[in-house]
Structure 1
Amino acid sequence: MTNTAAPPAEPLPVASPKEVRAHARRTMLRHRGPLARSLALHALACISALIAPQLLGRIVEGAAHGTVKVAPVALAICVAVVLQAVLTRFARLASLRLGETVLAEMREEFVDRVLSLPTHTVERAGTGELVTRTTRDVEVLAFTVQRAVPDTLVAGTTVALTIGAICLTDPLLVLPCLIAVPVLWLSTRWYLRRARAGYLRSSSSYAQLTDHLSETVAGARTVEALGLQERRRRRTNTDISASHRAELHTLNLRSVYLPIADTAYMLPVAATLVIGGWMYIEGLVTLAAATAATLYVQQVIGPVDTLLFWMDEIQVGGASMARILGVQTAAAVVHGSGKNSIDKTQRPAPHDGEIEVRGVHFAYRKQQASLRGIDLRIRPGERLAVVGPSGAGKSTLGRLVAGIDNPGSGSVALGGVPLSELSSDALRRDVILVTQEYHLFRGTLADNLLIARPDAEPADLERALRAVAAWEWASALGLSHEIGSGATELTPAQAQQVALARLVLLNPPVVVFDEATALLDPQTARTVERALAQLLSGTVVSIAHRLQTAHDADRVVVLEDGRIVESGPHRELIDRDGSYAQLWKSWHG
């Protein structure tokens, strides 16, 4: 096992408010047709709702003068109400369809961006950070898109049209409505200045809690064996306290803002009744106009209340969108679409498996260098073994050669092209890092193998399984047998053999092995390693924790304290009686 220092946590970026607004604008422009139809239907429904107050005002006016005809007016009101209900139904259906379409596109785009993130970005972000954005943030945004945005659009349209109807009824009656504007404007401005930061802090604290909980669960046996229960419990309580404080902060913001807003939007109702009545007495407005305006103001309470209710949810959704777009920002920078980045898509693909490491220095943390001035050329098709004591930097070198991490200084090139200038697709196609980690997807055994090469024939699958000493149990199980979560669970050793069989099918130009056979027994591991050496036609770099791997290699490189101290064939290094010879003697007892 290597003892390389773990990379420090680096949370994924969060999109700025400007980027969130720009994304929202682009989305609206991309769906301007459906959006326009939805808004038009909502506007028509709102206009239908404005008919009844006007007719009721006429009834009141007619009753005052004894000229009212109730029956036809009542019939017109009923027609208007039915028309409003029908239009509202189709308007809401159009909004929901639009919301689902937008959400589906964002989910697909998000998954694409997450899958395109480089391994080192995912590792440094931490499990909780990415899991929280993939689950909680997507769920919050889904609720916002499905409910908050359509309802807010409806409410905003209703408020605007209702105010317009009051202006058409009598412009003087708009004045009482304005009494709430200063209160709502000041309180909303105060709230919005603080809400985004509060909700981002809440999401971040939740991600940290998730990260530490998953770490504790995954290492439950280690925690129990070392008696770390109380320490992990204290850490969890600290995370819960931090999350509680973050949630309490946003709750305090709402507890200040919402009561003020609730009071503010009730003021126009009282003001319209009092001032409208005074205007009627003074002969400035008609009784019908005062009645209609009062009903309009009463009618607008619901939409305003909806706006205030969903404003908080939109702030939560906006914070989640900023975190989701942050993943897209990270992926865009990796793929060269970010500012000051390299356009990797224009770089030529390498033509061979030659690897050149030149003047490489690397450190996970400042003042803790893992590699110091590494110069190494690996010939196409060469079998190279990297050995050395624990903590010498073997796995770090393997990660750099595989393009997982970028060197702090110096360069790593494949076929003359720096790895940092290759697109992710080219890099992942041509250079494969194989560790003891593996993953089985829910599906048949054949499905799990065909991931590497979809056009492989059954004979190819059998050859790959035989190469990794897995054909005996695989044939007994059957290639069409369901495996994975919820189906037949393979042993860790069997799962690792499936992962190695995928490698045989893929046969990439460059393979970097780092404890790839650690879960197999020594005899099977030796058999598998020799079979892989024969079947893989490209360059193979083995981080050799078992020195028998070095014995079979074309060349051995010895690392000590981040530097190459010896390089040469096994027999030659044994004859030198240097560091490698000492390691070989120690390994053989």
Structure 2
Amino acid sequence: MTTTPLPIAAGTRTRAVLLTFLRPERGRLAGALALLIAGTIAGLLAPPLLGRIVDLATRSAATSDFVVTGAALVAVALVDAVLAGFGTALLARAGESTLARIRERFVESALRLPLEQVERAGAGDLTSRVTNDVTVVGEAARSALPEFTRAFLTIVLTLGGMAVLDWRFLVAALIAVPVQVHTVRWYARRAVPLYARQRVAVAAQQHHLLATIDGAPTIRTFRIAGEHSGRVAVRSQHAVDLLLQGIALMTRFYARLHVAEFAGLAAVLATGFFLVRSDAVTLGTATAAALYFHGLFNPINTALALVDDAQAAASGLDRLIGVADLAVAPRTVTPRSEAPTAVEVSGLTFGYHPDRPVLRDVDLRIRRGERVAVVGSTGAGKTSLAKVIAGVHDPVSGAVEVPAGEVALITQEVHVFAGPLVDDLRLARPTATDDEVWAALAAVDAADWVAQLPDGPNTEVGAGGHVLTAAQAQQLAFARLILADPPVAILDEATAEAGSAGARLLERVAAAALEGRTAVIVAHRLTQAVTADRVVVLEQGRVVQSGPHSSLIEEPGPYATLWQAWSGQRDL
């Protein structure tokens, strides 16, 4: 299937959405700004105080004057540190709260995406957005944003302080600005597309890496590890190459900034020399001006260096908001009706590639309460049919109607969510009472082993918690099905564990969970077809036989051949 990445928001849209998320934080932002301004002003008193010490030294002033000035320096430093600390913390909290809202919106949107769109994008696209991009944006919210704000205020207020000392110092300092502006524009033009390519490259790398890890058993079986390792290596190398390009670009960026620093400091020192020589200012004032400009080195470098972080964060935000801002059509849930037909498939054609259909002109009507087993050889289209009926994929042509209402799909790949087991179950119905949860567990023969867990149903399961066997995880999936109570259930290899010691248990559990429901069972084990009301046989994406098991085994055809092969294996 061709990979189609999820959308990336345009910069203008990202800014508009970001402003919307920032509105609840206006109070914190205003408070943080006030504290940072006050702290910065306090800090800017240090150079004039140091200049005063120079003037005191040139006049051979009394020791008490030095002591008072030194005490003032200490007080200024303490006030600056306290106010800056509180302001930075408040600003970081506002940034984190905003990022939390974006993450929540992202997850909400991602969960509402059509599964077909997620599959087309590949596993690496979503995972890279929710891991790498969130990490980069989170670091920007926690540190880059406060640092940039503090640096920006320092730059603006310092230039104001230089103007207060003498306007000619300000003019001299501004000589560095054209070089800095040119450097930033030069860097931004190259950095924005570079970081965007880096994000895409990392997503592709993760996609191939996850696919290789997930398919490791198959890869080893067919001895194609070298080929897949090569693919991962190529994607990884591409990501590394882009990273190295970014580092080289940043090195050139800093080199240009040093030129601006040299030019500005030389201009300020020369101005101070001529002003002191003409008795326009004191030596202490010239010293304060030089210290002011020298004090700009760090905030300017910080602010401009954070352009690098800002570009990375902006790229990450574009990718997050690209998903969070998706206008996903609300899912239309057909209300349950008493119509005799539960599922109707007419003229269905479906393929993962438009020119290679997997299902062709499939017509299938399933009566309310009927259990239909779908069988066929590997590649016949059984799983594809199940996913199209479940709504995972949209038909290329034809239609699927479910007058009965909602459809639930259970596959062999069951996920156990991290957290208390009871919360895992209540994902299907958050309002389920304890009695209803225990009733669902009892129906799937799980009540006994759940009661024996360290904390019973409150035991932590999933990642980092109590490890459940595959059969136990499948029992939880069937218990969720009972709690969700959909009128139509589709099982695709949902009892695959029945090939192990838990065979009879899982088949009994499945039967209990399907009680009173219309069921479509993709039967990879033909014993499931024996108990079905009807067997539908697929061959090369078409329905070639349909009828009860007892009738189909008596007539020549694909099903009789499959049954003979199956029953012959079981007799061995």
Return the letter of the residue paired with 1:550: A
Match of 2:336 in 1: 351
- Partners of 1:440 and 1:492 in 2: how far apart? 10
Instruction: Indicate which of 115, 120, 126 corresponds to 2:116.
Output: 120
Q: For 1:141, which of 137, 140, 152 is the aligned residue? A: 137
Query: d(CA) in 2 for partners of 1:314 and 1:82?
Result: 30
Name the aligned partner's letter for residue 434 of structure 1: I
Deviations 1:449-502 (A, max 9, x none): 444345556665565445445566556668446554445433322322232232
Residues 264, 520 of structure 1: alpha-carbon distance in 2 compared, 3 angstrom cutoff: same
The alpha-carbon distance between structure 1 residues 529 and 328, as it changes in their structure 2 partners (threshold 3 A), is: same
Match among 241, 244, 248 for residue 240 of structure 2: 244
2:361 aligned with 1:376: no
Q: Measure how far apart 1:193 and its partner are.
A: 1.4
SS in 1 for 2:357: strand
Mapped partners of 1:471, 1:85: distance in 2: 59
Indicate the residue corresponding to 1:561 in structure 2. Answer: 540
- Number of the residue aligned with 1:538: 517
Could you report, residue by residue, the CA deviation over 1:374-410 in whole angstroms, capped at 9, with x for unpaired residues?
3433333332232333222221111111111122233
Spell out, residue by residue over 1:154-175, the C-alpha distance to the aligned partner (whole angstroms, 9 max, x if none).
1001111111222333333322
Task: Report how far residue 101 of structure 1 moved.
Answer: 2.5
CA contact (8 A) 1:133 1:324 kept: yes
Alignment equivalent of 1:98, drawn from 94, 99, 124: 94
SS of match in other structure, 2:538: strand
Q: Does residue 44 in structure 1 map to residue 38 in structure 2? A: yes
Q: Structure 1 residue aligned with 2:47, among 47, 53, 64?
A: 53
Q: Using a 3 Å threshold, how does the CA distance of structure 1 residues 542 and 221 change in structure 2: closer, same or farther?
A: closer
How many angstroms apart in 1 are the aligned matches of 2:445 and 2:51? 88
| CA offset digits 1:518-544 (Å, max 9, x no partner) | 1113544543444344x2x23212222
What pairs with 1:411-450 in structure 2 (closer than 5 Å)? Answer: 411-415=399-403, 430-442=406-418, 446-450=422-426
Counterparts in 2 of 1:63 and 1:477: CA distance versus 1, 3 Å: closer
Alpha-carbon distance in structure 1 between the residues aligned to 2:390 and 2:541: 17
Does residue 10 (structure 1) correspond to residue 4 (structure 2)? The answer is yes
Match of 2:44, SS? helix
Question: 2:386 aligned with 1:398, yes or no?
Answer: yes
Say whether residues 1:182 and 2:178 are aligned partners.
yes
Deviation (angstroms), 1:235: 3.2
- Tell me by how many angstroms 1:257 deviates: 0.9
Matched, 1:257 2:238: no
What are the equivalent positions in structure 2 for 1:274-293 lying under 5 Å apart? 274-281=270-277, 290-293=286-289
| Contact 1:398–1:514 under 8 Å retained in 2 | yes
Report the TM-score when normalising by structure 1.
0.83
Which of the numbers 466, 478, 481 marks the counterpart of 1:503?
A: 481
Structure 1 residue runs without a partner (length 5+):
1-6, 337-343, 418-429
Deviates more, 1:60-69 or 1:143-152: 60-69
Q: Percent identity?
A: 39
2:310 counterpart SS class: helix
Contact 2:102 2:324 in 1 (8 A): no
1:265–1:304 CA contact under 8 A, matched in 2: no
**Take 2:113 and 2:121, find their aligned partners in 1: how far apart are those partners?**
11
Cα deviation digits, residues 552-588 of structure 1 (max 9, x gap) = 3333333332233344444555566454444444444
Structure 1 Cα separation of the partners of residues 344 and 563 of structure 2: 27
Displacement after TM superposition at 1:361 (Å): 2.5
- Contact 1:529 1:549 (8 Å CA) reproduced: no
Aligned length in residues: 558
Deviations 1:64-97 (A, max 9, x none): 7899994565555554444333322322232233
* Counterpart in the other structure of 1:421: none
**Superposed displacement of residue 363, structure 1:** 1.6
What whole-Å deviation, never above 9, does each CA across 1:393-436 have from its counterpart, x for those lacking one? 2211111111111222333333399xxxxxxxxxxxx2211111
- Structure 1 residues 164, 569: CA separation in 2 closer, same or farther (over 3 Å shift)? same
One-letter identity of the residue aligned with 1:161: L
TM-score normalized by the length of structure 2: 0.86
Partner of 2:508: 527
SS of corresponding position for 1:151? helix
Structure 1 residues 362 and 100: CA distance shift in structure 2, 3 A? same
- What SS is found at the alignment partner of 1:439? coil
Question: 2:35 and 2:151 mapped to 1: Cα distance?
Answer: 13
Query: Aligned-pair distance for 1:151?
Result: 0.4
Q: CA deviation at 1:124?
A: 3.1
- Structure 1 pair 460/98, CA: closer, same or farther in 2 (3 Å)? closer
Secondary structure of the structure 2 residue equivalent to 1:293: helix
CA–CA distance in 1 between the matches of 2:188 and 2:564? 69
Deviations 1:301-340 (A, max 9, x none): 22112112322222222222222223324xx33x23xxxx
In 1: Cα distance, 2:33 partner to 2:511 partner? 68
Residues 156-235 of structure 1: matches in 2 within 5 Å?
Answer: 156-235=152-231
Asked if residue 32 in structure 1 is aligned to residue 20 in structure 2, the reply is no
Question: Over aligned residue pairs, what C-alpha RMSD do you find?
Answer: 3.3
Work out the CA distance in 2 between the residues paired with 1:50 and 1:472.
71
Residue type at the aligned position of 1:516: A
Measured after TM superposition, the shift of residue 146 of structure 1 is 0.5
Matched, 1:518 2:496: yes
Q: Which amino acid aligns with 1:21?
A: R
Amino acid in the other structure paired with 2:383: S
Cα distance change of structure 1 residues 274 and 375 upon mapping to structure 2, 3 Å threshold: same
Check whether the contact 1:262–1:305 (CA below 8 A) recurs between aligned residues.
Answer: no
| Paired residues of 1:350 and 1:414 also in contact (CA < 8 A) | no
Structure 2: tracts of 5 or more residues without a match: none
Matches within 5 A, 1:265-280: 265-280=261-276
